[in-house]
Structure 1
Amino acid sequence: MNSLLPQEFATAVIVQVAMDEEAAPFLELTEPAADDFGVGVAQFYPRTLNTAGTTQPVLLVRSKIGLVNAATALTTALGLVSHPAAVLSAGTAGGLHTSINVGDIVIGADYTYTDADATAFGYEYGQVPGMPARYQASESLLEQARAAAQVYTGEGQVRYGTMLAGGSFVTAHNVKDTREIFPEALSTDMETTALAQICVSRDLPFISVRGVSDLCGPAADQDFHMDAPIVAARSAQLVTALINTPA
């Protein structure tokens, strides 16, 4: 399967999104390096990011929505990219914290599961038994993200903090319980924590950068939705800036 990628992709950056709408802005910002291909439901796009005379191989992965799809696609990608420079989760998310607005960008400092509950056995809410309660973003990638945010020229406020992921959508009907359990959490989606779990277990640098397309529980005077392509483009702009920021 490694023959599907050029040799220089052994140390590529892996950027994973769930939907075609989230992949589209990355395809516009990068150049093809080899033929696209599919494995199962996932689609793989070997690309290069060219900036300031340097060329960075990037394997863009579109996994489809959900924890299992995300984990399966990343596991496949790691069979193709033997020593990834970094793994980044990108695209859109639901805004959870009351201070978040649609169009903001959330950079995850740590990650846990929205709906994992083994508290009856002494684990923290969000913790899978035998695994860490929180998965931490790479410190070096966090530094790069902060530097990239300083030169980010797009719209929306850049926020840093806890990101959640689970198997259920968080809506206005169930957001109250989620906010009570995770009062510090900024956003929620259906992929990020599964990706973080894989990367932490393999000691791979990981970070998630997501644009907020919907508010899980908006206040009466808040806009609650922004089209996914608009928000995904903001995530892609910041992610590509991060990749181009020296470690």
Structure 2
Amino acid sequence: MASSPAASGPAPVAILCAMAEEAAPFVAALEGAEPVDAPLAGVEARRGALDDRPVVIVTTGIGLVAAAAAATWAATALGARILVSAGSAGGLSRESRVGDVAVAESCTYGTADATEFGYERGQVPRQPVRFAASARLVDAVPAPELRGRILSGDTFVTARNVADMREAFSDAVATDMESTAIAQVAHAVGAEFVSVRGVSDLCGPEAGVDFHIGVDEAAARSFAAVRGMLAAI
């Protein structure tokens, strides 16, 4: 039987994954797991503990709107004060390799372009150029291979447009379809935010470099890094 969203006790850490495959390692490690009724179509949530820390694992669905809706619910209805974007990502920087853990120091909408009106590339009008992650959380992630900006959008970065993205966002290390939306929600509600993603593929693979692993393997890397982070805070 699913529990109601409201619950007594410490506020949970919300770990938000787009797909069930990305949430699977978190759900498998959850102690005392119980489903939580979510008011959003396609969203699944489970409350429990991860190494004795209260958490809620939310499978949001893919994309910016799905992620923002689920993150808003987690923050307002469940009382989460830490929002963690977890799962897989595409490696964007030339240094990225499949299997790397990418941690966002900040997030930006990679496909936003209001430069005609004086805004920076990636900046939504009247919003920050980038949404900063919590330095405390970023520093707690154990030995990530990649730290920098993560881009989010509703289109894939491929060999066709990777050069443009690298030129426009030279400090970006990875790209996904959810993290910036979750970061914007955290900014709006005053919650801490971090994105911790496993690189499953490369946006512009270099010659002779492996460019793909399974989402489940990338999710396992994300899970291990998030677990280590939670143990350190």
TM-score when normalising by structure 2 = 0.94
Q: How does 1:48-197 map to 2 (within 5 A)?
A: 48-50=49-51, 55-82=52-79, 84-145=80-141, 148-149=142-143, 158-197=145-184
Aligned AA for 1:140? R
Number of positions where the alignment pairs a residue of Structure 1 with one of Structure 2: 231
Contact persistence 1:103–1:226 (CA under 8 A): yes
Aligned AA for 1:3? S
Contact persistence 1:94–1:213 (CA under 8 A): yes
Give structure 1 stretches of 5+ with no counterpart: 150-156
Contact persistence 1:117–1:126 (CA under 8 A): yes
- Secondary structure of the corresponding residue to residue 34 of structure 1: strand
Aligned AA for 1:193? T
> Which whole-Å CA distance do the structure 1 matches of 2:29 and 2:123 have between them?
36
- Secondary structure of the corresponding residue to residue 197 of structure 2: strand
Whether 1:208 and 2:195 are equivalent positions in the alignment is yes
> Which whole-Å CA distance do the structure 2 matches of 1:135 and 1:112 have between them?
7
Query: Which residue pairs with 2:31 in the alignment?
Result: 31
> Which whole-Å CA distance do the structure 2 matches of 1:76 and 1:86 have between them?
13
How far does residue 85 in structure 1 lie from its aligned partner after superposition? Answer: 3.9
Q: RMSD between aligned alpha carbons?
A: 1.6
Query: Which residue pairs with 1:3 in the alignment?
Result: 4
Aligned AA for 2:225? L
Query: Which residue pairs with 1:13 in the alignment?
Result: 13
How far does residue 202 in structure 1 lie from its aligned partner after superposition? Answer: 1.7
Greater Cα shift, 236-245 or 124-133:
236-245
> Which whole-Å CA distance do the structure 2 matches of 1:233 and 1:37 have between them?
26
Q: Matched residues, percent identical?
A: 42
Query: Which residue pairs with 2:47 in the alignment?
Result: 46
- Secondary structure of the corresponding residue to residue 4 of structure 2: helix
> Which whole-Å CA distance do the structure 2 matches of 1:65 and 1:129 have between them?
24
Give structure 2 stretches of 5+ with no counterpart: none
Greater Cα shift, 122-131 or 177-186:
177-186
> Which whole-Å CA distance do the structure 2 matches of 1:163 and 1:30 have between them?
27
> Which whole-Å CA distance do the structure 1 matches of 2:198 and 2:71 have between them?
21
Aligned AA for 1:213? S
TM-score when normalising by structure 1 = 0.89
Aligned AA for 1:59? V
Contact persistence 2:106–2:148 (CA under 8 A): yes
How far does residue 4 in structure 1 lie from its aligned partner after superposition? Answer: 3.4
Contact persistence 2:91–2:199 (CA under 8 A): yes
How far does residue 34 in structure 1 lie from its aligned partner after superposition? Answer: 2.4
